Amino acid sequence: MKNELNKIDSIVELTNRTEKNYSEGIAEGPIVYKSIFRKNGGWEAYYLYQQQNDNPPLRIKYNEAGYKTYQKFEFYYQNGELIFAKLNVDFYRGKRKNKPIEKKYYFKNSKLISDSKPELENYGTEYIKRTEKTVRKMIYE
């Protein structure tokens, strides 16, 4: 298990170290809350790829500014599979203000093999996978 996590960490590190060798795309847009039918935030995604239409790319860095939080996601891929995700959440309203969280997710064969903070149930595997799928859809449509 430890070897698997170290291997994934090495791939993530290599991707970040060699990012200048790849092309980067940028996508952005507003966040519209269906309940109030108005813009209430925005998002941006930076994605690293070898070929123009690589889906998934090598890495996606996605930021989302919402009503109470600013969330930063990083998704890393190898051979078309999600292998690592990282989430940072900064709260700027409410009880959690100035108490940011960071969480790391490791995947193998599309299954979660390690979660750095399983007690944060609101930010579980379903949440990270749903976000990743939505982000890819926003980038490639």
Report the alpha-carbon distance of residue 81 to residue 99 in Å, rounded: 32
Which residues are CB-neighbours of 11 under 8 A, at least 6 positions away?
76, 78, 83, 84
The strand pair at 101-108 and 59-65 is best described as: unpaired
Instruction: Quick: pLDDT tens for 80-119.
Output: 999 999 999 999 877 878 889 999 999 999 899 999 999 9
Counting the structural domains of the chain, the total is 1
Q: Nearest to residue 66, comparing CAs of 38, 102, 95? A: 38
Record the pTM.
0.91
Q: Can you give the residue range of the structural domain that contains 75? A: 2-140
